A and B are shown apart, each in its own frame.
Chain A
Amino acid sequence: MASMALKSFTGLRQSPQEQQHPHFIAQALPRQQKFRVSAAKTSPKLTNRNLRVAVIGGGPAGGAAAETLAQNGVETFLIERKLDNCKPCGGAIPLCMVGEFDLPLDIIDRKVTKMKMISPSNVAVDIGQTLKPHEYIGMVRREVLDAYLRERAEKNGASVINGLFMKMDLPRNFEQPYVLYYTEYDGTKGGVGEKRTLEVDAVIGADGANSRVAKSINAGDYDYAIAFQERVKIPDEKMVYYENLAEMYVGDDVSPDFYGWVFPKCDHVAVGTGTVTHKGDIKKFQLATRNRAKDKILGGKIIRVEAHPIPEHPRPRRLSGRVALVGDAAGYVTKCSGEGIYFAAKSGRMCAEAIIEGSENGTRMIDEGDLRKYLEKWDKTYWPTYKVLDVLQKVFYRSNPAREAFVEMCADEYVQKMTFDSYLYKRVVPGNPLEDLKLAVNTIGSLVRANALRREMDKLTI
Chain B
Amino acid sequence: MSTSIDLLSFSPPPSSMLSRTQFSFTHKPTFLLSSKKESFFTLRASAADNGAGVSAPAVTVEEPKVREASEGPTESNGAVEAPEVKAVNKFEDPKWVNGTWDLKQFQKNGQTDWDAVIDAEARRRKWLENNPESSSNDDPVIFDTSIVPWWAWIKRFHLPEAELLNGRAAMIGFFMAYLVDSLTGVGLVDQMSNFFCKTLLFVAVVGVLLIRKNEDIETLKKLLEETTFYDKQWQATWQDETTSGTKKE
Residues of A within 8 A of B (CB): 34, 36-38, 81-82, 84-88, 118, 120-124, 162-164, 183, 185, 187-191, 193, 209-210, 215, 220-224, 230, 232, 241, 249, 251-254, 256-257, 276-280, 282-283, 287-288, 290-309, 311-319, 331, 368-369, 372, 375-376, 379, 383, 386-387, 390-391, 394, 398-402, 404, 408, 444-458, 460, 462
Q: Is the CB of B53 within 8 A of A444?
A: no
Q: Which residues of B contact A (CB under 8 A)?
A: 2-4, 6-7, 10-12, 14, 16-17, 19-20, 23, 25-26, 28-30, 32-33, 39-41, 43-46, 49, 51-57, 60-61, 63-65, 67-68, 75-77, 79-81, 83, 118-119, 121-130, 132-138, 140-146, 148, 150, 153, 156-157, 226-227, 230-231, 233-234, 236-238, 240-241, 244-245, 247-248
Q: Distance in Å from the Cβ of A100 to the closest Cβ of chain B?
A: 24
Q: Are B236 and A88 in contact (CB under 8 A)?
A: no
Contact B7 A448 (CB under 8 A): yes
Q: Which of A190, A252, A257, A280 contacts B17 (CB 8 A)?
A: A257
Distance between Cα atoms of A303 and B205 in the complex (Å): 59
Given A121-B125, A210-B29, A293-B134, A449:B148 Cβ within 8 A: yes
Residues in chain B near residue A84, CB distance under 8 A? 57
Instruction: Name the residue of chain B whose CB is nearest to the CB of A393.
Output: B17
Q: Is the CB of B135 within 8 A of A453?
A: no
Query: How far is it, in angstroms, between the C-alpha of A448 and the C-alpha of B138 when the chains are bound?
Result: 30
Asked whether B10 lies within 8 Å of A313 as measured between CB atoms, the reply is no
Cross-chain contact of A124 among B83, B119, B141 (Cβ < 8 A): B141
B180 to chain A, nearest CB (A): 32
On whether A222 and B29 interact (CB within 8 A), knowing A256-B16, A290-B80, the answer reads yes
A contact residues around B83 at 8 Å (CB): 294, 298
Interface pair A291/B51, CB less than 8 Å apart: no
Q: Is the CB of B52 within 8 A of A164?
A: yes
Please state if B125 and A299 are interface contacts (CB–CB under 8 Å). no
Please determine whether A313 and B230 come into contact, CB atoms closer than 8 angstroms: yes
A308-B46 contact, Cβ under 8 Å, with A121-B125, A290-B79: yes
Known contacts A277-B25, A298-B80, A456-B122: A316-B236 contact under CB 8 Å: yes
What's the nearest-Cβ distance from chain A to residue B94, in Å?
A: 17
Q: Which residues of A contact B128 (CB under 8 A)?
A: 120-122
The winner among B44, B133, B145, B157 for most chain A CB atoms within 10 A is B145
* Shortest Cβ distance from residue A330 to the other chain B in the assembled complex, whole angstroms: 10
Given contact pairs A85-B49, A221-B28, A400 touches B125 in the complex (Cβ within 8 A): yes
Measured CA separation A298–B136 after assembly (Å):
12
B65, B129, B133, B226: the one contacting A301 at CB < 8 Å is B65
Closest chain B residue to A451 by CB distance?
Answer: B6
Question: Contact between B46 and A123 (Cβ–Cβ < 8 Å)?
Answer: no
Given A124-B135, A164-B52, check contact A452 B17 (CB 8 Å).
no
Which residues of the partner chain B approach A187 to less than 8 Å between Cβ atoms?
54
Known: A386-B230, A449-B153. 16 other contacts (CB 8 A): A183-B52, A223-B23, A293-B134, A296-B137, A298-B83, A299-B81, A300-B80, A302-B65, A308-B49, A314-B237, A317-B240, A379-B234, A386-B234, A391-B227, A394-B226, A460-B122
